[in-house]
Amino acid sequence: MAKHAFPTDCPCQSGKPYKDCCFMYHMEKQQPPTAEALMRSRYAAYVLKKADYLLYSWHPDTRPAELDLDGDAAKWVGLAIVATEAGGPDDDEGTVEFVARYKIGGRAAKLAEKSRFVRFKGRWVYLDGLVDE
């Protein structure tokens, strides 16, 4: 029986092993308890090119019909949470402001966004975000 090949550290930069962190969310065995946990799991999904999870964790009113990450040339290299507002286990909405660093063609770049999250059918989902350009 083959073992799963897990990244040693979770790409969300929680400091935990992937199998003890975002893996359970990506497999939809558990739901992230907070908006920040969902945001981190979505960042990890971009790193690991898990388009199905990204669509699952996106509000149906704002999610695209499909998401093709195979052609994505970005190499995600870091995540920093700047601020959170609400988004706790007992909240129905929240925001997470973050900066995600990546490289494209060897050149460093960053994505700064203030994301909005809401509860949908009892679980956190990404609604939309304001990108700082």
pLDDT digits (tens, 9 = 90+) for 2-56: 445 566 899 999 999 999 999 999 999 999 999 999 999 999 999 999 999 999 9
What percentage of residues in the chain have a pLDDT greater than 90? Answer: 86
Looking at domain 18-132, does it have CATH number 3.40.50.300?
Answer: no
Greatest Cα-to-Cα distance within the chain, rounded to the nearest angstrom: 48
pLDDT for the residue 4:
52
For residue 101, give the amino acid letter. Answer: R
Is 60 exceeded by the pLDDT of residue 102?
yes
Q: What is the pTM of this model?
A: 0.92
In angstroms, the CA 87 to CA 79 distance is 18
Mean pLDDT of the chain: 93
pLDDT for the residue 71:
78
Q: What are phi and psi of 67, to 5 degrees?
A: -145, 115
What percentage of residues in the chain have a pLDDT greater than 70? Answer: 94
pLDDT for the residue 91:
98
> What is the residue extent of each domain of the chain?
18-132
